């Protein structure tokens, strides 16, 4: 149970760190002394990168959850057979 709490805190921290980095990058792009067209292109590129990264992380998370659920089901079935 304590391990789950630590894992949840770590996940929360990493999510906050990631969001902070994305927001900081957005603010930096918007305040940069470049033309609007160039800034918009950068924003589109960064948003695409963030979307791909988020999709990859969600897929990894879903795979991890599936493995954990499968393990829990196997363990439960073994205990019921006893």
pLDDT at 17 over 60: yes
- Which pLDDT value is given to residue 47? 85
Number of domain units in the chain:
1
Question: Domain of 77?
Answer: 2-81
pLDDT at 1 over 60: no
Q: pLDDT digit string (tens) for 21-79?
A: 888 887 877 777 777 788 788 888 888 898 898 899 889 989 989 999 999 999 989 88
Query: Which string of b and e fits 9-37 if b means at least 16 CB within 10 Å?
Result: eeeeeeeeeeeeebeeeeeebeeeeeeee
């Amino acid at each position: 149970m304590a391990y789950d709490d630590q894992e949840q805190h770590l996940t929360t921290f990493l999510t906050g760190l990631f969001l902070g980095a994305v927001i900081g990058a957005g603010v930096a792009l918007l305040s940069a002394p470049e033309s609007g067209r160039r800034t918009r292109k950068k924003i589109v590129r960064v948003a695409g990168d963030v979307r791909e990264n988020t999709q990859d992380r969600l897929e990894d998370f879903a795979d991890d959850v599936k493995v954990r659920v499968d393990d829990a089901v196997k363990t439960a079935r073994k205990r019921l057979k006893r």
